[in-house]
Every structure is written in structure tokens, then in C-alpha cells.
Amino acid sequence: MRKVWKLASRPVGDIADGDLELVNEAVPDLAEGQFLLGVIYLSLDPTNRIWMSDMEQYMPPVALGAPMRAGVCGRVIASRKPGVEVGQIMAGLGEWADLIVSDGSMMSPLPQLAGISLAATYGTLALVGPTAYFGLLDIGQPKPGETLVVSAAAGGVGQIVGQIGKIKGARVIGIAGGKAKCDYVVNELGFDACIDYKNEDVGAALDRLAPGGIDINFEQVGGPIMIEVMNRMKLFGRVALCGMISGYNDVTPNDPPGYWTMILMRRLLIRGFIVTDFAPRFGESGMALAGWMLGGQLKTRQDIRPGLENAVETVKELYSGGNFGKLLIEVSQP
């Protein structure tokens, strides 16, 4: 038997009790070419809420009645797939479940880095690391001395964006909720500054910290914070549009205004992206990220919560800023 969360109804606004249901069901026998994965970590990400909806999105929505989709990492328990060995650690797209039957099409082996925990390896090298890497380097294109602002700075992606920005010589200003997160990204991760949006006027703080304006906006939150950042973009600035989590629970989409005149006059570049667009280059990002981790230039924090049964309550915290670091559910012992 396996435990799996299934999407019972599409949330309207905040995720409500009953939108997802935890079901016990038989694990099907493995067919030739399949393997059974014992899930260790379930990755909870802002995009989960998008997948639950039927809004325009970049993958098919999760079908009603189907297992909820997620990034997962686990250990192979049984295999009828050549090249996939029992005991191997695999990561990729899976389900909110403790056991997953996979044909491997959305999974690949996860390298294990010496001296670094599986949670840190998975929580950095899997989707959040490439998201930060390609969004910042391909779209943001930081140059030494430029000013980079990253929202959701203490989250899974934000913490990596800021550190790559520092590696590339940019001046990095984070935006995060609460003193603990701000202190962490400045004191532990080396950001130049961090604005606590829960206790500071973001616009006034940006005026003080970036009086010359902002070269790069790594945008993750949307809403009023995005507006404050956009209003301060510099000539030839770049906006890597990674997400707008503040609106994901909105019943009626409420995009920030069109800054079309500003985009024209300041010659801004805006580009939306999804990490899977860069899949052919994951080897490049993986090597760079692993190198920085092993070299001590890239530290990441995971926020690990126990128990598959807590997945729904835990994923909700993403939308209220309750997580501190990359949010993972520990489904079984690593």
C-alpha cells in the first residue's frame, strides 16, 4: 500500500480542507522499465498552487482525482528498469506520495556531494538551484557593481540568487519577511542588505539602499513589493520574472500595472521563465552549483518538516511566508 495525496477539488482562494485528500491505495506491480521509489523528500514550491488551479500555466494542471504533482527525491526500492539500481538516489517530478512507480522519464540520478547532506544537495541542485542560476545569469546578467534586488530572499530560490549575485560582483539587496530572515541573508549568506517588508516601508528602504536605482529585479512575489522595485528600475535594467507568489491565491488575477512606457523609455528587458525551459543545460548549472557548494561559496538552508500527512498544512505556509529556506517534507529517513 502507498499513501498519496489526490486533488479532490480546485482551491478557490486559499487552499481549503478537502481540496486535497490523503488516500491509501495499492502499489501496482512494476512493469518492465519501471522502478519503485521510496520518497525521502517532497519539495513544496510556490508553483504547486498553480498546478492545483486551471489557470493558464506552463504544464497541464493536475487533473481532478489525480495524485498531486511535486518535485521529489528518493531511494530506489525495486527496479525493473535497466541502469536503475536498488539503493540509488533519484530526483525529479513525482507525486505527493510515499511510494512512486516511475518509468524514469521525469527522473534522474541525484549526485551526492561529499560532506553535504542529502537535504542540502537535493534542496540546492534540484529545481531551485537551476532556477536561480539561469534566471539570474541568462536573464539578469549581473555585472560587477550592479544592483540586484531579490524578493523572497530567504526562500529556496532567493538565497541562491543572492549568493550567485555576490559571486558575480553585484550589490545584492534582499527583501524578506521578518528580522530573522533578513539577518540570515546578510550575516550568513553575505547579502549587502535586506529589507524586512513586514516591518519596513519597502519603497523608502530601496530609495535609501539603492539611490541610483536597480539594475536587476529577480522577481518572485509580484504585488505591492514588485511595484516598489519596478518603479526604481534603471536604464537598461533586466527583470527575471520567476514567479508572483503573492497572487497565487487570488480568486481574480491582479497583475501589477503594465510599465510599458517605462520599459520603452528605460529600455528594460523583461523575461518570464520556467526552469524546465533550461533542461538541456542542467549539466552546466549542476556543475557550477555543486562547485560553489563544495567550495564554500554557496550555503543553503532547508526548512524540513516531518510527515507526508502534513503536506497540505505545510504547503500553505509558502503563501504566508512561513517557510525559512527551501521547504521540504521529510517523508522517510534519508
In the complex, the residues that contact a copy of itself under the rule CB under 8 A are 55-58, 222, 236, 241-244, 247, 253, 255-274, 277
Cβ count within 10 A of residue 27: 16
**Torsional sign, CA 315, 319, 320, 321:** positive
Whichever of 27 and 274 has its CB closer to a copy of itself, that residue is 274
Do residues 100 and 94 touch, judged by C-beta distance below 8 A?
yes
Q: What is the DSSP string of 287-321?
A: HHHHHHHHTTS----EEEEE-GGGHHHHHHHHHHT
**For residue 213, which of 238, 235, 234 has the smallest C-alpha distance?**
234
Distance of closest approach, residue 266 Cβ to a copy of itself, in angstroms:
7
Distance of closest approach, residue 56 Cβ to a copy of itself, in angstroms:
5
Distance of closest approach, residue 277 Cβ to a copy of itself, in angstroms:
6
User: Reduced to 3 states, what is the DSSP secondary structure of residue 226?
Assistant: helix
Query: What count of Cα atoms within 13 Å lies in the side-chain half-sphere of residue 276?
Result: 8
Q: Which three cell numbers stand for residue 183?
A: 539577518
Whichever of 116 and 227 has its CB closer to a copy of itself, that residue is 227
CA distance 89 to 71: 14
Q: Which three cell numbers stand for residue 321?
A: 511566508
Do residues 237 and 268 touch, judged by C-beta distance below 8 A?
yes
Q: What is the DSSP string of 146-194?
A: -EEEEESTTBHHHHHHHHHHHHTT-EEEEEESSHHHHHIIIIIT--SEE
CA distance 232 to 164: 22
Whichever of 85 and 255 has its CB closer to a copy of itself, that residue is 255
Whichever of 178 and 256 has its CB closer to a copy of itself, that residue is 256
Distance of closest approach, residue 227 Cβ to a copy of itself, in angstroms:
10
Distance of closest approach, residue 197 Cβ to a copy of itself, in angstroms:
19
User: Reduced to 3 states, what is the DSSP secondary structure of residue 120?
Assistant: helix
Do residues 79 and 107 touch, judged by C-beta distance below 8 A?
no
Whichever of 83 and 257 has its CB closer to a copy of itself, that residue is 257
Do residues 182 and 196 touch, judged by C-beta distance below 8 A?
yes
Counted residue by residue, the chain has a size of 334
Distance of closest approach, residue 109 Cβ to a copy of itself, in angstroms:
28
Distance of closest approach, residue 255 Cβ to a copy of itself, in angstroms:
4
Whichever of 212 and 296 has its CB closer to a copy of itself, that residue is 212
Whichever of 163 and 220 has its CB closer to a copy of itself, that residue is 220
Distance of closest approach, residue 143 Cβ to a copy of itself, in angstroms:
16
Distance of closest approach, residue 203 Cβ to a copy of itself, in angstroms:
17
Cβ count within 10 A of residue 287: 12
Whichever of 30 and 269 has its CB closer to a copy of itself, that residue is 269
Pairing relationship of beta strands 147-151 and 214-219 according to DSSP bridges: parallel
Whichever of 35 and 319 has its CB closer to a copy of itself, that residue is 319
